[in-house]
Amino acid sequence: MTSRLSGSDLTLAYDHHRRVVAEHLDVRIPDGSFTVIVGPNACGKSTLLRALSGLLAPRHGTVALDGAAISSYRAKEVARRLGLLAQSATAPEGISVADLVARGRYPHQRLLRQWTPEDEFQVARAMAATGVTELADRAVDELSGGQRQRVWMAMALAQQTDILLLDEPTTYLDIAYQIDLLDLCADLHEQGRTLVAVLHDLNQACRYATHLIAMKTGKIVAEGNPREIITAELVEDVYGLACQVIPDPQTHTPLVVPAARSARGARSAG
């Protein structure tokens, strides 16, 4: 398995290295995969994505992009190869949807070449793919959470990178838009892009991932094809939740069904 993006022996920490999130973490993103990262809140998924995209310098270890340390590239060069949809991003006050999406073109622009036909085309295409074309002239801060999420996705798409890292791209989206967005990701994957997405819905993860990474407190506890690794034991181990795993009636991928409250011996109220 070849990998353009990988991290080896990573120690990831915040606050001048005082809060250590992960140690001795090795991760390889298989080329051309749709990799999905799952794990409980605060286990370090976003932190790992930030490190893989070069936003967070690891305290120890290196992230390698196309055979060289990611820190050795110029910021713009990284941004032409790898895009990131962050978990919480804020738009500048009053900026319009079209303007925000257009900023995804920044890594491809130069001082005198700021708005080429290619830029125009890619921005229009990204907005159409995420269904935000009708919102083009609206101010981003006046949109609903789900609309905003799709605008940020459009910006990441306009960046036209081979590798796309998405931190919880389906948050705020209603069920139909969640499936739309995952289908869009699957399309991109089929066109040859490498995708890495953090998802909380295990069943969606199992349906769409070609490679699944399960994390727990800064460690990778299992990875591989979801059909092979998702078991009731793994879910119990990672989330501490008793469950049953049955085949998905539509796709025959694993379907995680949490055990009923009574079967879990849930505490009685009061």
Ligand X SMILES: Nc1ncnc2c1ncn2[C@@H]1O[C@H](COP(=O)(O)OP(=O)(O)OP(=O)(O)O)[C@@H](O)[C@H]1O
**Which residues here bind another protein, judged by CB under 8 A?**
50, 53-55, 74-80, 83-84, 86, 89-96, 98-99, 103-104, 106-107, 111-117, 119-120, 136-137, 159
When binding is defined by CB under 6 A, the residue of 1, 2, 41, 270 that contacts ligand X is 41
Tokens matching residue 246? 């049955």
Sequence-separated contacts (24+) of 138-147 with Cβ below 8 Å: 138/96, 138/97, 139/94, 139/95, 139/96, 139/97, 140/91, 140/95, 140/96, 140/97, 140/100, 141/91, 141/93, 141/94, 141/95, 143/97, 144/172, 145/171, 145/172, 146/172, 146/173, 146/174, 146/177
Distance between CA atoms of 5 and 162, rounded to whole angstroms?
Answer: 11
| Residue 127, SS3 per DSSP | helix
Q: Which does 99 bind (CB under 5 to 8 A by kind): Mg ion, another protein, ligand X, none?
A: another protein
Measured from the CB atom, the residue of 82 and 243 that comes closer to another protein is 82
Q: Which does 44 bind (CB under 5 to 8 A by kind): another protein, ligand X, Mg ion, none?
A: ligand X
Which x/- pattern over 77-116 shows residues binding ligand X (rule: CB under 6 A)?
A: ----------x-----------------------------
Q: Which does 75 bind (CB under 5 to 8 A by kind): Mg ion, ligand X, another protein, none?
A: another protein
Q: Is 46 in the site for ligand X (CB under 6 A)?
A: yes
- Residue ranges binding Mg ion (CB under 5 A): 46, 87
